[in-house]
Amino acid sequence: MSDGMALAGPDGALRCPWALSTDDYVAYHDEEWGRPVHGDDALYERLCLEAFQSGLSWITILRRREGFRTAFADFKIAQVATFTESDKARLLADPGIIRNRAKIEATIANAQVLADWTPGELDTLIWSHAPDPTTRPTPKTLADVPAVTDESKALSKALKKRGIRFVGPTTAYALMQACGLVDDHLETCVARSVPL
């Protein structure tokens, strides 16, 4: 794994090396990461999970994803926007999620902001920052995959300007990777540009 090249998994298929540490990662890598995600609620969920991941490993979030969904009403923007102080207290006591007050409050505040947007507006705003795939080199190793890009800086700035919290350029880029705005599967990875 030290050279950052795609590695063979248990089935012999080459994958991005980060995907091989756990079965949870293999499934996430093969079935979700880098696949296009559309819809305001679906993108809100990914935005929230990426914010909760900040400072933690993604596997921590992935393994608690169902707990997050239960705790945050399946990330339905309209429902989370109505959460009260008692909901905050409930969330801070919920062992099924990451009990970080600032991230919980940002998740609720972001829903309150997004509830006032036109349906489809979050989807449109996020996808308007997808770079032209023909201008991006295909990563051969993990060293070729950036942590931040001009597009992620612009997306972060646009979301912050509209009142969205906990979405710096690195989080914005992780969102872009997870939601298929960019394809950062390595050149020889079995999941690169897999048709949906």
Binding residues: 16, 29, 185, 189
Query: How far apart are the C-alpha atoms of 192 and 5, rounded to whole Å?
Result: 14
Based on the residue annotation, tell me whether 85 is a catalytic residue of this protein: no
Based on the residue annotation, tell me whether 58 is a catalytic residue of this protein: yes
Active-site residue among 28, 32, 105, 117? 28
Extract the annotated binding site for Zn(2+): 16, 29, 185, 189
Burial call 149-178: b when 16+ CB within 10 Å, e when fewer: bebbbebbebbeeeebebbbbbbbbbbbbb
What is the phi/psi pair of residue 7, to 5°? -120, 155
Based on the residue annotation, tell me whether 33 is a catalytic residue of this protein: no
Active-site residue among 25, 33, 50, 173? 50
| Residues 108 and 88 sit within 8 Å (Cβ to Cβ) | yes
Active-site residue among 58, 105, 127, 187? 58
Would you name the residues annotated as active-site residues?
28, 50, 58
